[in-house]
Amino acid sequence: MRRKVIFGNFHYRECDNLALYLEKMARQGWIFKDWRLGMVFEKEEPQNLEYAVEVFSEGNENDTKPEPETEEFVVYCREAGWELVSSRKKLCIFRKIYQDAAPIMEPEERYRNIKKAERESGADQIDEDQILFIRQVLKLQKI
């Protein structure tokens, strides 16, 4: 069995991009199996899989495996037609197991969870710091 590990980091606000990436890899025959130090893929027949990457706001930045609170969320998602493939920090990666699976979260709830996770991880601070830096540079250029 051939395996490959892809190292990369995704921000919470990039959930959809990560899901699209996993779907693209599956179409090429690289099926996502786990997220350890990197994303672990195994070579199989190409497949049209659908992924959902969600932020579980009750998760922990230090989670490396599903904690009890995450497990409850996973049961709910499985009943809705989504199987947990892996999780890391507050990110949960699901694969669709029923064609008629309902979305895991409503857009408003999803947005709130992403914003909360970004704020708690400090990721939104980076954006604000960058904006402040740019403003200061622009002020200096006016002198």
Query: Between these two residues, 125 and 70, which has the higher pLDDT value?
Result: 70
pTM (predicted TM-score): 0.78
Supply the pLDDT for residue 67: 64
Alpha carbon 89 to chain centroid, angstroms: 9
Q: What is the pLDDT of residue 43?
A: 97
Considering only residues 72 and 75, tell me which one the structure prediction assigns the higher pLDDT: 75
What average pLDDT does the segment 46-59 reach?
89
Q: Which long-range contacts (CB under 8 A, 24 or more apart) does 26-33 make?
A: 26/51, 30/4, 32/85, 32/86, 32/93, 32/95, 33/85, 33/86
C-alpha torsion sign, points 131, 128, 55, 32: positive
Q: How do residues 13-31 score in pLDDT, each as one tens digit?
A: 888 999 999 999 999 999 9
pLDDT > 70 fraction of the chain, expressed in percent and rounded: 76
pLDDT tens figures, 108-119 = 898 898 888 888
Among the residues of 1-143, which ranges form H helices? 15-27, 68-79, 107-121, 123-142
